[in-house]
Amino acid sequence: MKDNCNREIKHIRFSVTSKCNYNCIYCDHEGFLPKTTELSVDEITQLCRILAQILKVTKIKFTGGEPLLREEIVEIIRNVSELKLYKDISMTTNGFNLVDKAQDLYNAGLNRINVSLGTLKPDIYKIIYGSDSFNHVLKGIMKAKEVGLTPLKLNYVILKGINDQEFKNMVNFCGENDFVLQLIELHKASQAVNQNNGFYERYYYDVSPIIKDLENSAIHIETRGNMQNRKVFTLPNTAKVETITPGHEFCMGCTKLRVGCDGNLFGCLFRSDLGTNIKEALKNNHSLSSYERIVKQVVETREPYY
Ligand code: SAM
């Protein structure tokens, strides 16, 4: 299914809870205010099946809040995997519960993960994530690698004056461990950023000089056309750096549909207000064609540059 700008929906980003055990200084809450209502496991499974059938998508990423706080997360992954409709099931997590859950998640059918790790220094970790658990998370990341949740990506939101000096160390760390570094520019679609006077101006770090350096030093450059035209640079030490910089190119290459934990279907991180809640329809077991109407209506609200 295509939106009005000819962008086809190719993957789903699905929040399973808005609960979180972290307090990241920039958090965007995945584009919507924390909700207390959550779709049930059956509703999530049913919706994943419907979306795959209607949109023919084969990629899905689970998120939160913190998805590993959802008690039934392993069951959710198993159910979705057993639908045999998705080829790529991934998750983005703060990594706190990976030591305990990585193996079960892998066994249930999770293919790979992204972990929020924007520093290699425990004191800076505390500043960014509000948590003392750097070493514990590192153990979880190594466990995830060991069980096969790969390619494992580290989400590095770069912040001026906090972790901007760590780029090279992060690249080396990723090269040594066969991780992909996701270099993410701070964006404003977040209450934490918006409602904190001067936060964006203080911490926004323009990554364009880094991208220029990467263009000069990379041995291979790929553009992920279906993934917001993100560039992936392979460096001489074999480390891969993927750059995420919201803007014109980014929007034109966006092929994502989002689902909030309460069942709000929306087409853009920056416009959850244009969403439609699908929970009632799920309760009443609508026909596939009426789900299709709801999904189409949401997809038609998608506009680049928000
Ligand atoms: N709790 C999970 C985690 O830590 O990955 C999933 C939710 S978290 C909101 C998902 C990702 O959103 C984070 O890894 C971070 O990269 C990104 N993010 C959140 N707020 C952001 C902001 N203001 N600017 C850029 N990226 C942001």
Q: Given this model, what pLDDT does residue 252 score?
A: 84
Spatial distance between the Cα atoms of 228 and 16, rounded to a whole number of angstroms: 23
Beta carbon of 97 within 6 Å of any ligand 1 atom: no
Question: Which residue's C-alpha comes closest to atom 14 of ligand 1?
Answer: 116
CATH classification at residue 17? 3.20.20.70
Structural domain boundaries, residue 139: 11-299
Q: Given this model, what pLDDT does residue 229 score?
A: 82
Question: Does residue 175 lie within any of the structural domains?
Answer: yes
Q: Given this model, what pLDDT does residue 166 score?
A: 98
Q: Given this model, what pLDDT does residue 139 score?
A: 98
Question: Does residue 4 lie within any of the structural domains?
Answer: no
Structure tokens at 27: 């958090």
| 64: helix, strand or coil | coil
Separation of CA 285 and ligand 1 centre (Å): 33
Beta carbon of 92 within 6 Å of any ligand 1 atom: yes
Question: Does residue 304 lie within any of the structural domains?
Answer: no
Question: Does residue 3 lie within any of the structural domains?
Answer: no
Question: Which residue's C-alpha comes closest to atom 16 of ligand 1?
Answer: 155
Atom of ligand 1 nearest to the CA of 192: 23
Q: Given this model, what pLDDT does residue 178 score?
A: 96
Report whether 71 contacts 37 (CB < 8 A). Answer: no
Q: Given this model, what pLDDT does residue 78 score?
A: 98
Beta carbon of 63 within 6 Å of any ligand 1 atom: yes
Question: Does residue 138 lie within any of the structural domains?
Answer: yes
pLDDT, mean of each 10-residue run, the chain (306 residues): 93 96 92 84 98 97 97 98 98 98 98 98 98 98 98 98 98 96 91 85 96 96 83 93 84 91 93 91 90 95 82
Question: Does residue 255 lie within any of the structural domains?
Answer: yes
**What's the domain count of the chain?**
1
Give pTM, 2 decimals: 0.96
| Residue 223: C-alpha distances to residues 81, 87, 129, 227, 238 (Å) | 28, 21, 30, 8, 17
Taking residue 213's Cβ as centre, other Cβ atoms within 10 Å add up to 12
Report whether 82 contacts 109 (CB < 8 A). Answer: yes
Question: Does residue 305 lie within any of the structural domains?
Answer: no
Question: Does residue 110 lie within any of the structural domains?
Answer: yes
For a ligand 1 pocket test, name from 69, 155, 194 the mutation site with the most ligand atoms within 8 angstroms of its C-beta. Answer: 155
To the nearest 10°, report the CA torsion of 275, 279, 285, 289. Answer: 10
Atom of ligand 1 nearest to the CA of 185: 25
Separation of CA 40 and ligand 1 centre (Å): 24
Separation of CA 26 and ligand 1 centre (Å): 8
Question: Which residue's C-alpha comes closest to atom 26 of ligand 1?
Answer: 186
